[in-house]
Structure formats: C-alpha cells, structure tokens
Structure 1
Amino acid sequence: MSTINNTSVNQATSNARNQVQQAAQSIISGSTGNSSMDVASLVSALVNAKTAGQSAALQARQTTDNTTLSAYGALTSALSALQAAIKNLSDGTTLSTFAATASGKGLDPKAGVGAVPGSYAVEVKQIATSQSLASAAFGATTPLGTGTLSIAVGGKSMDIAVDSKNNTLGGIADAINKASNNPGVTATIVTGTGGAHLVLRAATTGAANTIDVTTSNVQNDAGLAALGVKSTPGADGAASTFVSSDSTKAWRQSEAAQDALLTIGGIDARSATNAVTDAISGVSLNLSRDAIGTTQTLTIAPDTTAQNTAITNFANLYNTVVTTVNKLSSYDKTSKTGGALLGDSTLQTIKNSLASIIGGGVGKGTSTVSLAHLGITLKGDPADGTLVIDSAKLSSALSTAPARVAQLFNTTDGLGAKLNRSITEFTRTGGIIDARNSALNADLKSVTAQQSKLADYATQLTKQYQSQFTALNTLMATMNNNSAYLTALFGGSKSAGALATNK
C-alpha cells in the first residue's frame, strides 16, 4: 500500500509543477503587452503547488486506513461465522443430539433435549379428535323463534341472544362465530338434500372438550328449542356420547371428543392432543390416523446426520476464514499489488493461532485425537491451510467411534472450545482487532483534522495570492499602456513617433 501512496503523492506534485509552468506563461505574456495576466489560473496553480503533495499524502493515508478497516471487518465477519458454527460443537449440544425414527407411519417422532438412546414398541389405539355435532335439518331462511342459546365447551360457556334479526340457522352461526367470549367452538351451515344443518365443532381436541347447548326463554318456537344437546365425555379418554333435547329432531355426532390412547412398551399412555410430549423423556410424537391399529418400533439413537452436517459446516467456515486471511495477505507479482493486510502482524497472529489449534489434537500420547481421525486433513497441493473433508470417513467415525469424536469436541479442551475461546479473545472489545480498529479510527480523525487545516491554509493563501497578482496585473497593464503611449510619441525600433514627424 505504501508504494501506491508514494506514487499518488509524486503524481500530484508533478501535476502541480506543470500547472505552475503553464500559468507562468501568462506573466510573461502580460509583461510583453500581448495580453493580460490570467490571475485566476496562476493563483490556483500556485496554491495547488503549495498544497498538492500534502493533500495527496493525506488522501492516500485516509484511503489506506479505510481499506484496512474494511479488511478487518471482513476478517471479523468470517471469524464470527466460524464461532457461530462451533457454538454447539464447543458446548456439547450437537454431539448429544439424538434422532427418533419409527418403523411405520403415523408417529412422526422427534427427539430433543433429554432424550436417551433406546427402542420402544408403540401401539396407537386411537388418536385425539375434537367433537363435531350436526343438528337436524331446517329451512335455511326459516325463523326458528327467539330466546337464549347457552353453549359450553370444556367448562367454558357463553350466551347467545336470539332475536328477530338472527333467528335463522345462518344468523345463529354468525352470532356464535363473532361472540367475543366464544368458549372454543366454530359454527358452519351445511346444506344437504333434507335442508340446512347447523354444524358445531370444538376448536380443541380431547375427551374433556365436549359441546353442550341449552335453550331458554324460547318464544314463537319453530325449531329453536330442538337445538339443545347434552354431551358426556367417555371414560378414560374414550369417545364422547350425547343426548338431544328433542329426539324427533336429533343431533348427529360426526366425530367424537376423545383423547389419544397408546401403549409404549406395554405401558398405557394418554394425551388430550396428538402432540404427545410427556410420554417418553425428550421425545415428542405427532400422531395421525395412519398409526392406529399397528405396533411400531420407535428407535432413539445419536443423530449422526446432524453431527455430520455440523462438523462439515465447521470445516467449511474455517476454510472461509483461511481463504479470507490468504486474500488479505496476498501479493500479486504481475500487478505488483498486495492485499490490504499484507505483512500485518495482527493478521499473522490470528492466522498462526487458529492454524495451531486446527493442526493440534486433544489428549496425550496414543490417546490423542485429531481431525485426521475424522477424515478431515489439511489440503496438500497446493498447501493453502484449508481443510479437505472425506465424507465417508467422517460418517464412519461418527457411527463407529462416537467416543473419539466426543473427545475431540469435548467442552473443556476440545477443538471447538479452544477455537471459541481464541476467537472471543480476538474479537472482544479491547481485543487485538478492536485495538487495531481503534488506532485506525484515531488516525482517520487526525487526517480529517489535518485536511481541514490544509483547506483553511489554501483559502488564506488564495486570498493572499489573489490580492498580490491582481495588483501586479494592474501595474503591468499601466506599464504596457505607458509604453504604448511613449512609443507613439517618440517612435520605436520599427516606426517614427509623432514628434519625429512633427505631427
């Protein structure tokens, strides 16, 4: 970068000299009477000659500082991405991750925190459902009377006032859906061959969430009283039953309120929803109808796929850091230009520290484990510090030697823990990158102050030169006028004056 700076300063100085030489011609021209002196160009050239070198040096310094800051920003971003990738490797989260698989359909198992390896026989007897009731058929626009409908679901209730404005099936359904204190029921109208039906469905699954409808203060009854229905939860989570208030206009239960019932290793389990989260520690099941009536094998085992992905991602992001470092410290022999941090001691410290951790191992003597044991090695030709991943060897190590992998990434002195501590030290407030950035920002502030002073100096110098050369131009113009007068009067080398010819 210093070569570029010197070149720009020398070029600016050379240009300023040329401008002065060109402007000086106007002085010569003015002194011979050929034309007036170009004061503006002369002043500009002289001021530029006085300030061009320093201005170019300050500009070059400012450019270098900003380029270096940008380079450290790119390096910090790459380091932060690597640190994020190794977080779960350094704290043991990834290596304690388990995967849950089922031998059939309808369980959709997920393993999370707290899961342990194991195998279970799971039989689903029924899944959880929400109750759905359909009324008898009525005319779609037939007024059913006025009064009050009380609707309860799972212990919560609301009252719907039925009047002449909403006493059709559609009006009642709309009133139910818009009620602010709705206990958890939706109402729709289904029109069949026999007429329109009011269909009520509980919003929540489970045996306890049954629907009750009672009517009171009914006037001009034309079917409103027949909308009463009483539901009863089934025993031990079984399907709900119901009784209509008018057996001649009875409701139908298209789906019962019931819990999910299943056995896990012969042990009965029950859930009000199909998301079963408390039956097996750290494992959730999301039941569907496909699981009913079959016995499946549920297996909880280390999630080698997730571990493979995490370790591969870590290696790739380490390569990004190395590539960034190499680019910032490179030198192009053809263009004779260097990277923004070529020869920078801070960059070399970071590069050497990370390379030492990656190239080292964990443990002592014959028990030492390194990345090579996982099929991850340094690139050989050309050797640039990046890592090469043998996916087959990595998969094999995760499956056959999980203890060795766990040792390499242990939470105390494992590879991830070491890298995490090292990167934290580099990027923390007050760390070596922050210290370098602070020095660069301080220098930029100094450059700005010097540029301001130089601008003030240039303004002062311009006024001074403007005054001096304007006066000189006026004097030269007067002298030229006097010279022309005397020549006309006494004559010159090529002509006789007025006095010589007695004119």
Structure 2
Amino acid sequence: MAGISFGGVGSGLDIAGIVNQLVAAERSGGDTRIARTLSQSNAQISALGNFRAAADSLQRQITELGKTGLTQFAATVQTDAPFTATATDKALAGRYAVTVQQQATAQSLRSGAFANADTVVGTGTLRIGVGDQSFDIEMIEGDNALSSIASAINRAADNPGVSARVVTADGGAHLILSSRNAGTDHTISVEPIGGDGGLESLRFTGAPGDGLSQIQAAQDAIIEIDGLTVTRGSNSFDDVLPGVNLRLTDQKPGTAFTVDVQADLDKTVSRLSGLVSAYNATMGIARDVTRYDAATGRAGALQGDATLRGASSAMRNAVSAEVTGNPLGVLSAIGFTTATNGNLTLDESKLRSALTENPNAVEQLLTGVGGLGERMTTVLDGYLGDSGRLAAKREGLDARIKMANNDQTQLDRRMDRVREGLERQFNALDTLVGQMSSTSDFLNAQLARLL
C-alpha cells in the first residue's frame, strides 16, 4: 500500500530518513529555481507598483494644472469688512468697492405661551408652506401636544425646509418655526384645516390676528459693487465678481470696502514646486529600481529593464522639448533645470520674474498646445493606460508567476512519484536482507548441532 512503510525491520536501516534525504537532494535544484523566479517576479511587480503610484500622482497634478490653469489669484479684503472674499483660478485681477446694505435672514415665527411642551393644542391638519411649496401634517387625538406638533413637522418626509422646536421660557412653552434657508423666497405660512379649532393658535398668514407672531422677517441680501445693486436670497455671492466668492458676515449700510484681486505668485510657485517634486519622485523610483550600484553590489529589482528606462527617457524628453512659437521656448527659460541624474530643480526667482514679465507665455509653455502638460500627459498615458506599457509588463510578470506555480505543482507530483519508487526499492531490499538474515541464523543453528 503506497505511503505505508515498515522499512528497517529486517536490515536495521533508517529507510525513511534515507528516502527523505534522497528526495530532498533530488528536488533542491527545482525548488531553488522556482523560489528565485517567484521572488524576483514579486519584487519586480512591487517595483512596478511603486513607479505607477508615483507616476499616477504626477499625472493627477498635470491634469489638475491643465483644468484650473497656471495662474492662481488671491483676494484681499479691507480691514473690518462685513464679508470675506475667496479668489479662484477663474478670477480677473482688479479692485472693487463692495457695500453690504443688508444681510439675508431666515424667517422665524413664535407661538403664544402654552403651559408646557405636553399641552394639547388641537386636532386637524396643519398645512405649512415654505416659499412656493407646502406639506401637511395630521394631528389626531392623543398625539397632538405642542411637542408632538414639532416632532411631526421635523420628521415629515416632504418638509421642504422648515425646522420646529419647543422652547420653554419663564412664561411657558412656545413653538418656534424657522425657515432653513434665508431670503424672501423661503417665507413660512401656516394654515389650520378642519379639526376641533385648537390649531388656530398656530395660524400664520401675515395678517392681523394670526396665532403665530413673527420674531424675524425673511429678507434678501443686498450689496452694491462699484455702485451697482445686487440682490440674492442668501449671503453667498458666487456669480457677481469673476472667479471670486463673497460671503457676507455682517452688514454696514452706506460704507464701501475694497476687494483687491491679484495674481498670487506664491500659490503658483508652490504649485509648480509640488509638480517638480512629483516628477523627481517618479524619476527617482525608475532610476533606483533599474540600476546596479557597484559600490554596494546591489541591483534594482528591474535592473536594465527597458520599460522603465524608456519611461525615464520619454519624461526627460518631454521636459527638455521646445515649444514652437513661444517666446520663452523651453522650460529652462523659466527656471526649470535638469540635473545629470534626471531630476529637476526650480529656480523660484527666475520663475517669479517670468510670471511677472510674461505670464501668458509661461502659461502656454506649461499648459498650452505642445506645452509640458500636453507632452507629459502623452507620455504617462502611454505607460499608465489600461493597455499601456506598464500593464503589458505586469501581464508578463503575472504569467511568469503562474508558470512558476505550475512548475511547483509538477515538481511536487514528480517528487511524490520518486518517493514512492524509492520506498518500494528500499522496502524490497529490507525484506531481502531480513530473509537472508533468517537463513543465516538457521544455517548457523544446524552447523552448531553437527559439531
């Protein structure tokens, strides 16, 4: 029966130990080769992954630079202004005079005093309007206390924007209704319909005799920009000044405050410094994983690999290429210098001068047709795309790992057969030696009798 051995009974030999050593010697070469293949392939996959991660980061920065434009802007607001201003990349340089005549406010209503939050108000329907929308809540006997009304309003699925709460003061409990949005387009109305009449204490139509009183009126925000009036239903003005977001924080009627919008060289330089860092990180990984360090005797996981060497070369060409028709021509004209190891350095002083003297040419050099962004995108797409060179390289490594795993399976099966064969041979030998030993013992006994 295969796999069961009583070897050594007749001969005294450690057959199991001998077989194990012979099998181990037989398979050592194959195991070593397969382990080396798997180790190398996994190390190469890891190196590819590190390069891809760095290149992806570089590509994102290139893409973002193309979307938002190179020039960044900053908005400076005069001290004590009743608003803030934030500039985007779409801003236009200029100075503006802004006056906040009034802030937008949300309407709030308050009921008269009830004994407490559990006081029963009445039955029927409350139709609550918010601007041009409305919703109904039904109040029934046993679930029509002041607190129940507030809860029903807040949990109504079709509530378009009113909040309710009960505030208990010295004089009793009050229902407070507040519009969630400022502006006259979000005013509140409350109309009781049917029931026992108790809900009339919550009516609000803006007419005398309403049950609810207004504690804050809804009003729109009104500002003046360079003498022109702008009205909005909120305290945000995002579409008045090009690329500038205004947020009202107070109101100071009749007093104008200046907003200066200028190009922010610090932001632009910082952005390009980040781009240089991302480029250098990508180049550094490609360099480290493909080189051989003679001083230490260490080789990169992808030593001599044509894929990453090709990527490095293409990226360097993208940086050094000239933009035809641009007065600046090449990146070195605005402070970008390539070192012998492929890394970029950025002369910030030279870049600032170029941005001040010829910002349009700088922008075209970096983000225009034939510029750095377009060239680098073409290179990175060729390597990072679903059918790019990195994907092809990874497929080859995956196939190599799969083949090594298959080789391991075949080796294991072959070694099982070798083990079975050796066990049969040694067990047969053990049996023969046992038989010969028994015969010898018998002959020795017979000779002893004759003597």
Quick one: structure 1 residues 225 and 343, their matched pair in 2 at CA, closer, same or farther if it must change by over 3 Å? closer
Cα distance between partner residues in 2 of 1:390 and 1:349 = 27
CA deviation map 1:394-451 (0-9, x unaligned):
4454344423421321332111211111111122344333333233233333333333
Is 1:187 aligned to 2:151, yes or no? Answer: no
Q: Residue 466 of structure 1: CA displacement?
A: 1.5
Give the SS at the match of 1:133. Answer: strand
Q: Residue 133 of structure 1: CA displacement?
A: 2.3
Q: Residue 487 of structure 1: CA displacement?
A: 4.5
- AA aligned to 1:244 is P
Cα distance between partner residues in 2 of 1:147 and 1:42 = 96
Name the Cα RMSD after superposition.
3.2
Structure 1 counterpart of 2:272: 311
> For residues 162-173 of structure 1, what are the structure 2 equivalents within 5 Å?
165=142, 168-173=145-150
User: Does the 8 Å CA contact 2:222/2:229 hold for their aligned counterparts?
Assistant: yes
Quick one: structure 1 residues 424 and 463, their matched pair in 2 at CA, closer, same or farther if it must change by over 3 Å? same
- AA aligned to 1:454 is L
Cα distance between partner residues in 2 of 1:74 and 1:135 = 65
Give the SS at the match of 1:188. Answer: strand
- AA aligned to 1:406 is E
Structure 1 counterpart of 2:43: 67
- AA aligned to 1:278 is D
User: Does the 8 Å CA contact 1:98/1:303 hold for their aligned counterparts?
Assistant: yes
Quick one: structure 1 residues 245 and 162, their matched pair in 2 at CA, closer, same or farther if it must change by over 3 Å? farther
Structure 1 counterpart of 2:174: 197
Give the SS at the match of 1:412. Answer: coil
Q: What is the aligned counterpart of 2:131 among 154, 157, 171? A: 154
Is 1:79 aligned to 2:55, yes or no? Answer: yes
> For residues 69-218 of structure 1, what are the structure 2 equivalents within 5 Å?
69-89=45-65, 91=66, 93-95=68-70, 97-104=72-79, 105-112=81-88, 114-140=90-116, 143=120, 149-161=126-138, 165=142, 168-215=145-192
User: Does the 8 Å CA contact 1:229/1:244 hold for their aligned counterparts?
Assistant: no
CA deviation map 1:332-353 (0-9, x unaligned):
4465331111122222222222
Quick one: structure 1 residues 164 and 400, their matched pair in 2 at CA, closer, same or farther if it must change by over 3 Å? same
Q: Residue 79 of structure 1: CA displacement?
A: 1.5
Structure 2 counterpart of 1:377: 337
> For residues 218-367 of structure 1, what are the structure 2 equivalents within 5 Å?
219=196, 225-231=200-206, 243-245=207-209, 252-289=213-250, 293-333=254-294, 336-363=297-324, 367=328
Quick one: structure 1 residues 353 and 225, their matched pair in 2 at CA, closer, same or farther if it must change by over 3 Å? closer
Cα distance between partner residues in 1 of 2:326 and 2:358 = 18
Structure 2 counterpart of 1:398: 355
Q: Residue 126 of structure 1: CA displacement?
A: 0.5
The structure with higher relative contact order (CA 8 Å, sep 6+) is 2
User: Does the 8 Å CA contact 2:327/2:361 hold for their aligned counterparts?
Assistant: no
Q: What is the aligned counterpart of 2:434 among 471, 477, 483? A: 477
Give the SS at the match of 1:253. Answer: strand
User: Does the 8 Å CA contact 2:121/2:145 hold for their aligned counterparts?
Assistant: yes
Quick one: structure 1 residues 36 and 124, their matched pair in 2 at CA, closer, same or farther if it must change by over 3 Å? same
Is 1:468 aligned to 2:425, yes or no? Answer: yes
- AA aligned to 1:262 is I
User: Does the 8 Å CA contact 2:235/2:248 hold for their aligned counterparts?
Assistant: yes
Structure label with greater radius of gyration: 1
Q: Residue 128 of structure 1: CA displacement?
A: 0.8
Cα distance between partner residues in 2 of 1:138 and 1:47 = 94
Quick one: structure 1 residues 483 and 332, their matched pair in 2 at CA, closer, same or farther if it must change by over 3 Å? farther
Give the SS at the match of 1:244. Answer: coil
Structure 2 counterpart of 1:438: 395
Cα distance between partner residues in 1 of 2:235 and 2:25 = 84
User: Does the 8 Å CA contact 2:366/2:373 hold for their aligned counterparts?
Assistant: yes
Structure 2: which 5+ runs fail to align? 1-6
User: Does the 8 Å CA contact 2:89/2:243 hold for their aligned counterparts?
Assistant: yes
Is 1:387 aligned to 2:344, yes or no? Answer: yes
CA deviation map 1:168-210 (0-9, x unaligned):
5444434433444445322333333433333222222112332
- AA aligned to 1:302 is A
Which is worse superposed, 328-337 or 408-417?
328-337
CA deviation map 1:42-88 (0-9, x unaligned):
22333333332233223222322222222222222221221112112
Q: Residue 356 of structure 1: CA displacement?
A: 2.7
- AA aligned to 2:204 is V
Give the SS at the match of 1:307. Answer: helix
Which is worse superposed, 197-206 or 278-287?
278-287
Structure 1 counterpart of 2:413: 456
Q: Residue 107 of structure 1: CA displacement?
A: 2.6
Cα distance between partner residues in 2 of 1:146 and 1:66 = 74
Structure 2 counterpart of 1:7: none
Give the SS at the match of 2:45. Answer: helix
Share of identical aligned residues, percent?
Answer: 33
Cα distance between partner residues in 2 of 1:289 and 1:188 = 26
Quick one: structure 1 residues 291 and 407, their matched pair in 2 at CA, closer, same or farther if it must change by over 3 Å? farther
User: Does the 8 Å CA contact 1:230/1:245 hold for their aligned counterparts?
Assistant: no
Q: Residue 130 of structure 1: CA displacement?
A: 0.9
Cα distance between partner residues in 2 of 1:213 and 1:83 = 56
- AA aligned to 2:373 is G
- AA aligned to 1:245 is G
Cα distance between partner residues in 2 of 1:82 and 1:434 = 18
Give the SS at the match of 1:157. Answer: strand
CA deviation map 1:244-301 (0-9, x unaligned):
316xxx7543321111111112111110111223333443322221565531222333
TM-score by length of 1: 0.77
User: Does the 8 Å CA contact 1:212/1:229 hold for their aligned counterparts?
Assistant: yes
TM-score by length of 2: 0.85
CA deviation map 1:445-475 (0-9, x unaligned):
3333333332222222222221122111211
Q: Residue 214 of structure 1: CA displacement?
A: 4.0
User: Does the 8 Å CA contact 1:488/1:498 hold for their aligned counterparts?
Assistant: yes
